[in-house]
Structure 1
Amino acid sequence: MISSSSIPLLFIVLILLLILIKKLKFRSTRENGKSVPQLPPGPAPWPTIGCVPEMLCQKPIFWWIHCLMKEMDTDIACVRLGKVHVIPVTCPKIAQEFLKKHDAIFSSRPTSMATRMYSGGYVTAGLTPYGSQSNKMRRVLVSEIISPARHHRLVDRRTEEADNLVKYIYNRSKSSSRTVNVRTATRQYTGNVMRKIMFSKRWFGEERADGGPTVAEEEHVEAIFTIIKYLYAFCISDYFPWLVGLDLDGHERSVKEAVRTVNKYHDPIIDSRLGKWRRFGNSDDESTSDEPHDLLDVLVKLKDSEGKPLLTPEEIKAEVTEIMFASVDNPSNAVEWALAEMMNQPEILKTAMEELDRVVGTERLVQECDIPHLNYIKACAREAFRLHPIAPFVPTHMAMSDAIVAGYFIPKGSHVLLSRLGLGRNPKVWNEPLEFRPQRHLTSDCTEVQLTEPDLRFISFSTGRRGCVAPMLGTAMTTMLLARMVQGFNWKAPPEVTSINLDESTGDLFLANPLIAHAEPRLPLHLYP
């Protein structure tokens, strides 16, 4: 029984709770007794913990955030998680304010459980908070790893993996099932390219005769995609650091296991190469000639002004992992989605084939030198980047000082999330945004279609001081992957399937089910490796 004296107290508590859980309201902050511009609109936070209860209950979190913004009819919002103001953005003009006008303020990264592990304790270029270390590693990438000269030198290795892709799909087309798991093919192509240019080999053990992945390569790629999944995954300990170690949401175990798997394959190769170059680098042995054979050689051989190794073994290992997971995801996801959409719209697939037959012909395989002339193929890739991004947000930008953006107050330490999903599907920017229409990228004033999008109407490779440093490599991998698959084969749904299911996965933006398709060779047989 509740005593009559307790009723007023319970009533007061109830009123306070109702006030706290009021759905939405605008908030303003005061500093030194003076009003400052309002924070962007957002849900009313609970004291101390902010909107963490909602974050824990609403899965996936990115859909909850986008639904909130749609309900509020806003292109910028503020969701407080613990003491952190999380600022999602879905408007290209506002995104440009963050990454162009105020790029210097928002060029840092927040610390988190996952990024600390992935970056080897913050020694890499992409995940390390802004400072001397991130600048040092970014200079290494720009000047040595992804320079135009280095890109050109490695073209034969990328072409070899494009040939291997055709070989693998051809062999699958001749199997008893005649079906191809397109997700496996695209992910292994990107994994093969990166392993080949990084380590000079596509496999970790014995090579398969049909060009397909072994268990080791599949495990390696799976671990890399796990790393990507948990990169900035709203882990509760990222907002309450004292919870690190308790693993309340299971992220830590998955992250540690993925890192262990990647290191299992990378470390022996890197350790062996370090021993080779640093013990015999000055010898006359042909096996240790001065010319780097791959990107790992480049990283190992770099010297500082005193002739000493520029990078520590820890920096090399962490940067190799970062280069890997930053390269394999976008091209493979975009091409799987593009091919699925094109199979459901045969006229688009036919147009793409006609362009390849016109530009390349049917007596040779498409090469990287053809890319500038393949505008329709690139338009299909652009449309896949726009409509089906690899992740809902770009890697988080963190405010290094207070700022005013789009008329709103963005406090120091805020986490800014530019929404790939919201930008690419914004109905204020795109006509029929949920339709796959490559022709929207073929404008009369565009002589050559680019996969980059400087106006941030969608995000393929991002921009700014922390943007992608290798759009040239990303463009080559994406275009060659799609072009080789479309040029080399006629693609059809399996006999029991009337159309390709284009549903998204419930927890991410991948196809809910890997694309399984019939592939029939359409070129002279002597062209298939």
Structure 2
Amino acid sequence: MEANVGFLSLCLLFTVIRFLVKRFWYQSDIKNDSKEFKQKYPLPPTPKCLKPWPIVGNIPELLANKPTFRWIHKMMGEMNTEIACIRLGNTNVIPITCPELSREILKKQDAIFASRPVSISTFRITKGYKTAVMVPFGEQWKKMRKVITSELLSPMRHKWLTDKRVEEADHIVKYVYNQCNKNEGGGIVNLRLATQHYCANVIKKMVLNKRYFGEEMEDGGPGLEEQKYLENVFTMLNYIYSFSPSDYIPCLRGLDLDGHEKIIKDAIKNTRKHQDPLIEERFRQYQKLGGNKESQDLLDILISLKDKNGEPLLSLEEIKAQVNELIMAAVDNPSNAAEWAIAEMINQPELFEKATQELDAVVGRNRQVQESDLSQLNFVKACAREAFRLHPVAPFNVPHVSMADTTVGDYFIPKGSHVILSRVGLGRNPKVWDEPFQFKPERHLKDDGSGVVLTESELRFISFSTGMRGCVASTLGTAMTVMLFARLLHGFTWHVPPTESRIELTESNNDLLLAKPLLAYAKPRLPAHVYQTK
């Protein structure tokens, strides 16, 4: 008996030793391979002033230089480099401003860079990574990506929802027209408020069949409750990937050293108190009716989806999280492009003349622009495209995480690195664009007269991202952007307010919006009957 026990113990000991030896040699091989990788290909250049501290890396410098995106771009400019490496905690953050390197990331090595970072903000916003855009690579992302592409944003669904988009395009024209009528046919319009709420209204109408959560103002504008709601949506957008120290040093989570956690928590709470009760009520109604309900919007589609066994495909929490993400994804890009483009064009009246000539030739002056007209509005689209190039809504694209050691442009990119493509650096790169800081829409017109599109497949700037983790809503985003822009240009003339000489085209210090919301003087330019809508 004792001999058997001794023999078994010996076998067990041998097995453990064998396992440890194999593991040791395996890890040694990995380390050796990685070492050879590093020796052959260096990391992207790091600013000489940024010698990483133990454990925290360059987080002290990050905290001392706000806003972070301006600090990063300034350092890259001083180094005269289009790729850099900044150590934050144990993470290599790699900003890129070069189209060629960007194409290598999102085209040639798309599968390697197909994941997302984990952060406090994204975890909370997505209810524990239950959505598509901000979720790390895995089965949940695959599931939700398929739902969005096949069920929510397919060409058939896009056509199905046309009337809801047109209804909101009619509404913003009515709202601006009402501002004009307050002062003998002309009036000051807050274009930031108008364009942001147009975008929010379009996506809410498509998803929830609802324009405003609160009371609508008499002139058609948003009430204070609605304005507060949208402020919280933009707060979430601003804090998704805002370089919070606790996102790079997890042991700091909960301490909220920079106030980041409380801000994002409050913003989420104040948006969901409007969204979630509607979703919960619709969910109960669907169950009560046994699924016998005709779909009216995208929320109905999400609730009605079934798996292969006939069971609900999505949980209530997944639906809530995905609705929130859809709204966030739609509100900022088109509104920012329209505000900046009109601001630039007010200072260059000849651009307005070209745009309105095109609109009058395609649409005429006795009806409003429709989505069927958009394909022919090449100069209008060129103006929107130039706004995306020169005035991106965010300094960086949504980060990509490397899922393996690799090389990009003869630089070593370790597994786990966060790669951030600079929208600012790409769109204003002087090696790519002539007079990069000038608003010149004609640069996007093609010599052969072929159609202008808002997407940019060569990543010379980023309007809608591409690749496995690219924007699946570029068709919707294009329709929203061009319709908004075309309706405002076709329906009204826009001028500097009487008390000013020109529009001040200054960026906010903390983001890329105009430093002050655009206030412009608008006058109707079409016959009165054209503005009459239901």
Alignment of 1:84-103 (within 5 A): 84-103=91-110
Q: Does 1:216 align with 2:225?
A: yes
Q: Does 1:255 align with 2:264?
A: yes
Equivalent residue number for residue 25 of structure 1: none
* Paired letter, 1:312: S
Equivalent residue number for residue 499 of structure 2: 496
Equivalent residue number for residue 24 of structure 1: none
* Paired letter, 1:375: N
Equivalent residue number for residue 51 of structure 1: 58
Matched residues, percent identical? 55
Distance (Å, rounded) in 2 between the aligned partners of 1:152 and 1:315: 25
Shift of 1:59: 1.1
Equivalent of 1:123, from 109, 117, 130? 130
Equivalent of 1:230, from 229, 239, 253? 239
8 Å Cα contact 1:392/1:420 also seen in 2? yes
8 Å Cα contact 2:406/2:412 also seen in 1? yes
Equivalent of 1:111, from 113, 118, 124? 118
Equivalent residue number for residue 431 of structure 1: 434
Q: Does 1:68 align with 2:71?
A: no
Shift of 1:48: 2.2
Alignment of 1:179-328 (within 5 A): 179-283=188-292, 288-289=293-294, 292-328=295-331
Equivalent residue number for residue 511 of structure 2: 508
Shift of 1:299: 0.4
Distance (Å, rounded) in 1 between the aligned partners of 2:317 and 2:474: 26
8 Å Cα contact 1:78/1:86 also seen in 2? yes
Shift of 1:446: 5.1
Q: CA RMSD in A?
A: 1.3
* Paired letter, 2:41: P
Distance (Å, rounded) in 2 between the aligned partners of 1:50 and 1:82: 5
Distance (Å, rounded) in 2 between the aligned partners of 1:349 and 1:222: 30
Q: Does 1:479 align with 2:504?
A: no
Distance (Å, rounded) in 2 between the aligned partners of 1:392 and 1:78: 17
8 Å Cα contact 1:368/1:480 also seen in 2? yes
Q: Deviations over 1:120-155 (max 9, x none)?
A: 100100111000000100000000000000000111
Distance (Å, rounded) in 1 between the aligned partners of 2:207 and 2:289: 20
8 Å Cα contact 1:40/1:77 also seen in 2? yes
Distance (Å, rounded) in 2 between the aligned partners of 1:521 and 1:33: 67
- Structure 2: segments with no counterpart, 5+ residues: 1-30
Q: Deviations over 1:243-282 (max 9, x none)?
A: 1111111111110111001101101100001001122134
Q: Deviations over 1:195-237 (max 9, x none)?
A: 1111111011333332111222212211111111001000010
Equivalent residue number for residue 172 of structure 2: 165
SS in structure 2 of the partner of residue 42 of structure 1: coil
Distance 1:434 1:247, change over 3 A: same
Shift of 1:173: 1.1
8 Å Cα contact 2:169/2:484 also seen in 1? yes
* Paired letter, 1:309: P
* Paired letter, 2:380: I
- Structure 1: segments with no counterpart, 5+ residues: 1-28
Shift of 1:32: 6.7
Shift of 1:33: 5.6
Distance (Å, rounded) in 1 between the aligned partners of 2:32 and 2:61: 26
SS in structure 2 of the partner of residue 297 of structure 1: helix
Distance (Å, rounded) in 2 between the aligned partners of 1:272 and 1:222: 25
Equivalent residue number for residue 365 of structure 1: 368
Equivalent residue number for residue 17 of structure 2: none
* Paired letter, 1:458: F
* Paired letter, 2:181: K
Alignment of 1:424-463 (within 5 A): 424-445=427-448, 447-463=450-466
Distance (Å, rounded) in 1 between the aligned partners of 2:62 and 2:368: 49
* Paired letter, 2:361: R
In the alignment of these two chains, the number of paired residues is 495
* Paired letter, 1:223: N
Equivalent residue number for residue 40 of structure 1: 44
Shift of 1:349: 1.1
* Paired letter, 2:302: L
Distance (Å, rounded) in 2 between the aligned partners of 1:282 and 1:457: 47
8 Å Cα contact 1:30/1:36 also seen in 2? no
Distance (Å, rounded) in 1 between the aligned partners of 2:219 and 2:453: 34
Shift of 1:46: 2.2
8 Å Cα contact 2:291/2:304 also seen in 1? no
Distance (Å, rounded) in 1 between the aligned partners of 2:291 and 2:426: 52
Shift of 1:325: 0.5
Shift of 1:65: 0.7
Q: Deviations over 1:14-47 (max 9, x none)?
A: xxxxxxxxxxxxxxx9867642410000123222
Distance (Å, rounded) in 1 between the aligned partners of 2:421 and 2:67: 17
8 Å Cα contact 2:215/2:222 also seen in 1? no
8 Å Cα contact 2:113/2:401 also seen in 1? yes
Q: Deviations over 1:486-515 (max 9, x none)?
A: 000011111111000100000000000000
Distance (Å, rounded) in 1 between the aligned partners of 2:228 and 2:308: 40
SS in structure 2 of the partner of residue 447 of structure 1: coil
| Larger CA Rg, structure 1 vs 2 | 2
Distance (Å, rounded) in 2 between the aligned partners of 1:400 and 1:113: 20
Equivalent residue number for residue 393 of structure 2: 390
* Paired letter, 2:272: N
Equivalent of 1:154, from 161, 169, 174? 161
8 Å Cα contact 2:96/2:419 also seen in 1? yes
* Paired letter, 1:260: K
8 Å Cα contact 1:42/1:77 also seen in 2? yes
Q: Deviations over 1:158-215 (max 9, x none)?
A: 0000000000001011224821000000001001101111111101133333211122
TM-score by structure 2 length? 0.91
